[in-house]
Structure 1
Amino acid sequence: MTTARVWFITGASRGLGRAFTEAALAAGDRVVAAARDLAPLADLAEKYQQDLVRLPLDVTDRAAVQEQTARAVAAFGRLDVVVNNAGVMLYGMLEEATEEQVRAHLDVNLFGAIWVSQAVVPYLRAQGSGHILQVTSMGTGGGFAAVGLYAAGKSALDSIGASLAMEVEPFGVKVTIVQMGGYDTGLFTTGTTATDAMPEYAPLRARLAEMWGDEAGPDPSTAAPVIMELVDMPEPPPRLIVGGASYDIVQQMDAERTRTYRAWESLSRKAPG
């Protein structure tokens, strides 16, 4: 592609958002990088003074999302790739989570992504082009202990992304649900809110710690080449698992779900619906 694309990336200051920002700039594209804390992007702003615009943004503030999206469009005149990436982690058992924690978590991971989608679609529809990447997770196929609310938000965004794809396809706008594998993004450290642990769940927590181990996952930069190849495609896939190990896990989960359905098919068919 000879013409520089314009990216709008939320959660751009760390993890995957930072990796995608670096890759896009290195490819000669221009980026509007949005995040609550812009300080970690200072080095890129110095290096790419003409091609990077930083915008402060809390995606839970719908009015601010609308305002900053307008500024993002004004910065370079258009948007070509929108990466709906901002996210946090709520770690803990469902019984432990407070109402405040649940609402705050979904405000970012679900509603924030909805506000961004609503804000960018009018511009992409008007220009008759664009590619929205809805960053979800390889775990959207089912919940898992201690991270169920994270999976819930990402699963909901997965469904919304599929619906959005149908809605904007007539206008020349593409949507890809990007199901990310486990990368060392800092999500489980700086991006995590933890519940107050109940002693009743101590044995389960110990099993989870043993199961997960200390491996943080590959560097987010290793996922960036896949995203760059994805946005180069004239007809991108509607959904993509990013990560070979994660691909295998998703296939196993899908196979297990199919086995369960088939095992209880006779009971399902007793109802006419």
Structure 2
Amino acid sequence: MAKTVFITGASRGFGKLWAEALLQRGDKVVATARDLSALDDLVTKYGDNILPLQLNVNDREADFAAITKAKQHFGSIDVLINNAGYGLFGTVEETTEQQAREQMETNFFGLLWLTQAVLPVMREQGHGHIIQLSSVLGLVTLPVLGLYNASKFAVEGLSETLAAEVKGFGINVTLIEPNGFATDWSGASALQTEAMPAYDAVRAAFQEGVSGDIWGVPEATTPAVLQLIDAENPPLRLFLGNQGYPWVKQVYQGRYAEWDNWNEVSTAAHGK
């Protein structure tokens, strides 16, 4: 059965790939972008099955208006994919206030506003699926991506809480956690801080760590996302790629070892 899917950041990368895959199989898609011309090819090819909307997700009022327009146009919103976001590369000390705030505005607050906007629609329907594009960096971290890490950790906490709150309304929540993929996330879409020489060695180590054949093929994610959308009981978390799960497992094993080593101190701190 065809679904109506609202997807942000559909002008490029994962957003456009997934939007086109949904349209190809007959779903209806509300595709948002800051530059609507990036969606002209999809409009020409798929006609009335796509509703292109110009949207800056940082604008809460515009987010609510976009959800209202989508509901009025197609009659329902079965799936929301909060895909819009970007990477900010730079150490914590290098990051300006404006850069930090803008990173959180797009990656976290934009997602929050659209989530809030769609919930009344999905509650009224008695069903829905909210898919949040997080990252493996919402579970573990890399240096030189501190604010990006923080934004995705925030998405993780918000969405896990949300899942418990809305399950009784028939609404599912899934966090998609990709590892690195060969999109322009680290290229044209990314921002850079002004480098401080004191961190040159940190940057060099980072570049060395992300070099080589670790990048996934973006097109290969499409079957997994379609399967997720069609799942009767979708998972709360879904890794994309073969790098994330073993990395997270290794890091968490180290965390458990450290917690165990300090557990006596932790327990004593309870006071009784």
Q: Which TM class, normalised by the smaller chain length?
A: over 0.9
Q: With structure 1 as the length reference, what TM-score do the two structures score?
A: 0.95
1:248 to 2:256 alignment = no
Selected match of 1:193 from 191, 194, 198 = 191
CA distance in 2, matches of 1:215, 1:67: 42
RMSD, aligned α-carbons: 1.3
2:230 alignment partner in structure 1: 232
- Report the counterpart of residue 262 of structure 1 in structure 2: 260
Change in CA separation of 1:72 and 1:29 when aligned onto 2, cut-off 3 Å: same
Give SS of 2:177's match: strand
3-state SS of paired residue (1:160): helix
In structure 1, the partner of 2:107 is 109
1:68, distance to aligned residue in structure 2 (A)? 1.0
1:128-186, Cα deviation, whole Å (9 max, x unpaired): 11100011011212332100110110111111101111111111111111112211221
| 1-structure distance, mates of 2:212, 2:65 | 41
Aligned-residue identity in percent: 39
Superposed counterparts of 1:1-273, under 5 Å: 3-213=1-211, 217-272=215-270
* Partner SS, residue 240 of structure 1: strand
The letter of the residue matching 1:235 is N
Runs of 4+ aligned residues of structure 1 deviating over 4 Å after TM superposition are: none
Q: Output the amino acid matched with 2:147.
A: L
Any stretches of 5+ residues in structure 2 without a counterpart?
Answer: none
Q: Aligned partners of 1:84 and 1:218: how far apart in 2? A: 21
Cα deviations across residues 38-72 of structure 1 (Å, max 9, x unaligned)? 22221111110121111000000000101111111
Distance in structure 1 (CA, Å) of the matches to 2:225 and 2:120:
24
In structure 1, the gaps of 5 or more residues are none
Q: Distance in 2 between matches of 1:231 and 1:149?
A: 29
Query: In 1, distance between residues paired with 2:115 and 2:193?
Result: 29
Paired residue type of 1:208: F
How far apart, in 2, do the equivalents of 1:82 and 1:160 lie? 15
Q: Any idea what the Cα deviations from partners look like across 1:101-123, whole Å, max 9, x if unmatched?
A: 10011000010100010111010
Aligned residue for 1:244, secondary structure, equals coil
| Contact 1:141–1:253 under 8 Å retained in 2 | no
User: 2: CA distance between counterparts of 1:35 and 1:115?
Assistant: 16
